[in-house]
Chain A
Amino acid sequence: MTFGFSLFVVALLIAIPALGAAAGGHAFWGVVIPYAALAIFLAGFTARILGWARVPVPFRIPTAGGQQKSLDWIKSSRLDNPHSAWGTIGRMALEILCFRSLFRNTRVELREGPKLAYGSSKWLWAAALAFHYAFLVVFLRHFKYFVEPTPAWVTAIQGLDGFFQVGLPVLYVTDALLLGAVAFLLGRRLLDARVRYISHAADYFPLLLIAAIAVTGVLMRYFFKVDLLGVKQLAVGLLSLQPVVPEGVGAMFFVHLFLVSSLIVYLPFSKLMHLGGVFLSPTRNLPNDNRMRRHVNPWNYPVKVHTYEEYEEEFHEVMKAAGLPLDKEKSCPKAS
């Protein structure tokens, strides 16, 4: 049901602009919608990051993923259990750029015996990496629409992306990778009983939305050609805050644009905020230098403790009888 619901919402997000743009009002679909979406995205994203950043980190609780720094002759694991700022930056870079922790993934199997067997399981890591990097390259490629003349680095990326020179127009490897990875991630959610069990609509929806964005993009590039000059005019106009609405761009483009707008509106209010949150995770972004440098808790309030004086008071007689040293000698011992 959750999957069906997500599919329905995405279908709606396609139908609305398709029908709407066909009926006209291109200034609305091409200018108002993207501007409004961008505004919501920026405000929402900033609010979320500030919301997290405002909350203090009372304790330094990094997860140790390797040998600690202790004695000089024991080699410490500088990246998996960093004790310095540079090590921590390295750990974060590995985490964000290479998905280090996901790379550790294993799969457990219960065999006769009983015997538990652990195997390396890198598919999720590989698909996640393919998905995110393909998405990044596709995103960067789009700068050709926003900047006139097309910057050299964009042309370079395009060249690399179309390296295999298959098809006409040349097939971008990242288009295929992105669609393939989305299909894998969706398939995994639907077919792996365990992952299906933990999935909400909020897990299917963004995958379907991104799939729809990619599919409309691919359709425009390879099948239903749109007026690229018009698209660029519109994009450059949007970016320079002097929007123009060229004629004849085509409904497919407005669908694509509306879906992208939906994605960025949805992002700050959803799990997609892991994009920002991963930088703020206290088990990863702090060095394991707890005993070397004191960490201060801004709300460290005083608590009720049991003092030695109270303790000696209560156990004075037995301590005295046992010959334990005492801080106070009592003149008249209490009956106990």
Chain B
Amino acid sequence: MSQGKLKPEELARINYQPPAKGWMDPDVEFRKGTWCYGAVPDTLKYLDLPLPKKWQPSDADWQLPPNWKQIIFEGMRERLQRFRTFKVFMDICVRCGACADKCHFYIGSGDPKNMPVLRAELLRSVYRREFTKAGKIMGKMVGARDLDEKVLKEWFYYFYQCTECRRCSVYCPYGIDTAEITMMGRELLNLLGLSIEWVNTPLANCFRTGNHLGIQPHGFKDSLDFAADELSDLTGVPIKVPINEKGHEILFVTPSADYFASPHYFTLLGYLALFHEIGLDYTFSSFASEGGNFGLFHSHEMIKRLNAKIYAEARRLGVKWILGGECGHMWRVLHQYMDTMNGPADFLQMPKSPLTGTVFNNAASTKMVHISEFTADLIRHGKLKLDPSRNDHWKATFHDSCNPARCMGLFEEPRYIMRRVMNHYYEMPEDTIREQTFCCGSGSGLGTDENMENRLRGGLPRANAVKHVRDSKGANILICMCAIDKATLPPLLEYWVPGMEVGGVHELVGNALVMKGEKERDTDLRGQPLVKPAKEVQDAA
């Protein structure tokens, strides 16, 4: 770990005692390791976003336009008229403090402004001053303060130290959702051209090429063909991957990391094996080759601009319904925003499993089904031949990714699958899973390198729960259903829980899936040797 100069035991010395001085006079130090690089001007220009500039958050001069305060106030006014969430959440917090120690960044850093209540107060204090009578008259006594450059810098610092995981909103007696506050804060900062590189570059790439890495269509095809070949070698079954083909029943959309990054790639092999085995009539699309939506980390408008591709492509290809792969924030957008923004999907048909006949009534309007819902249904109906012992080299625990957990409630489907494709499955402590799950610490565009210290801090609660299962049950792999998790958990675990691997649910499915005409399998999808079944070992002896 190049950035992690501190040893784990040093990083874990956390001071939770708030400073003697109050929080209202901002004093942000952009310390290396805690913040993300500023967005590159070309990416803003490509997306027609305002005020592109060469800039870093650590600069003293943020090159703000002379009327910047007016721009912010106008932006706040507009959003207060558009989002009831924003208005109500600005008004009703009683500062009971229940949210304080629910945030992984607060737990990992002890920085009081990482308490969700204070993160919101950073914005609320300006709201009160500008938009409420009490704040105008009473000022600091009611928690109101003027907007100035220091406050703006503080916004940037702390709104890019929130992963929009919504854990705090589970505990808030009024359901105040800090993700919503952070989204508003980031939208306001965007108005001044203040965004981060690891949000804006992927945005521009997604917009142009369909995926966040900027891979062009032929590269996309090469990748999938390579995966199909490799899977054929592993299984002895010839496999083809349809791309951009019209007239299939299903469009399959998955995060682009699945075909370019590791360990995501093994989950992709799992999908391909499954689809081949059940003879699914589907196609990939190179145009809608990114299910993940970095717009969620930028603005509502950008969510819509990127998400539009999915329905547009489903329409162009003439599919009946859409199946979605393992991803976190992708599923927040698909579940809570897509239909509203780019629907109605009345040109599609009610999703129905071609194998089991199950009608997915829960996706009656959006027409998009989560792969774990689809696979759980297959297994339930006995449509898959599974050999769980092929996962015997894994002792797994499961990380509920924030968005499928707290935006959907997708808890039992992946667990049902895992319990049937493997023999060794253990839960982490209950305060750290399901709706109480802890973020990987790198979501919402924070999964980059320059802020590694903060990622390690934010990921401490997650990693610590993993460590508990490793130490008590001997778990050796953390399974998750999110592309950001799969990218960011490996360095996190390497730091806090060395020796833990990270994998996906459908990687395990692919391992256990007994395919027609397959050769004798002696490795898993990673090419690692399988544990010989106990029976064979006995026979040999």
Contact = CB atoms under 8 A, between A and B. Distances in A.
Do A and B pair up? The answer is yes
B88 A293 contact: no
B412 A110 contact: no
B341 A300 contact: yes
Given A66-B409, A106-B436, A322-B221, 16 more contacts: A52-B88, A63-B169, A64-B408, A68-B411, A101-B170, A118-B429, A118-B431, A194-B18, A197-B22, A200-B142, A202-B141, A281-B174, A283-B177, A292-B364, A319-B217, A322-B218
Contacts of B409: 64-68, 76-77, 81, 288
Given A56-B84, A64-B435, A318-B217, A303 B304 contact: yes
Interface residues of A, number: 98
Most chain A C-beta atoms within 10 Å of own C-beta, residue among B23, B95, B107, B360: B95
Interface in A33-56: 48, 51-52, 55-56
B112 A197 contact: yes
Contacts of A161: none
A104 B177 CA distance: 16
Given A74-B416, A194-B97, A291-B362, A200 B143 contact: yes
Interface of A: 2, 5, 48, 51-52, 55-61, 63-71, 73-77, 80-81, 83, 95, 99, 101-102, 104-108, 110, 113-116, 118, 124, 128, 192-203, 269-271, 273-274, 277-278, 280-284, 288, 290-297, 299-300, 303-308, 311, 314-315, 318-319, 321-325, 327
Contacts of B301: 303
A135 B339 CA distance: 44
A300 B412 CA distance: 34
B461 to A, nearest CB: 6
A116 B460 contact: yes
Given A52-B84, A65-B170, A202-B141, A114 B12 contact: yes
A283 B217 contact: no
Which 10 residue pairs spanning A and B have beta carbons closest together? A68-B409, A277-B92, A64-B409, A114-B12, A283-B175, A118-B431, A322-B218, A197-B18, A200-B143, A284-B175
Contact of B340 (A58, A65, A192, A319): A58
B308 A303 contact: yes
A41 B112 CA distance: 35
Contacts of A56: 82-84
B22 A269 contact: no
A52 B87 CA distance: 7
B312 A114 contact: no
Contact of B177 (A63, A116, A278, A307): A63
Contacts of B180: 61, 283
Contact of B169 (A55, A71, A271, A283): A283
Contacts of B16: 110, 194
A55 B96 contact: no
B435 A293 contact: no
B23 to A, nearest CB: 7
A315 to B, nearest CB: 5
A322 to B, nearest CB: 4
23 contacts: A56-B84, A58-B82, A58-B300, A59-B340, A66-B434, A68-B410, A71-B358, A71-B362, A71-B380, A104-B171, A105-B98, A105-B171, A114-B8, A116-B460, A116-B464, A195-B100, A201-B141, A277-B92, A282-B84, A282-B175, A290-B339, A306-B207, A319-B217
A1 to B, nearest CB: 9
Contacts of A306: 207-208, 305, 309
Contacts of B208: 306, 314
A29 B407 CA distance: 52
B97 A192 contact: yes
B60 to A, nearest CB: 28
A291 B376 contact: no
A48 B132 CA distance: 11
Interface stretch (B62-70, B365-373, B384-392): B365-373
A12 to B, nearest CB: 14
B267 interface: no
B374 to A, nearest CB: 10
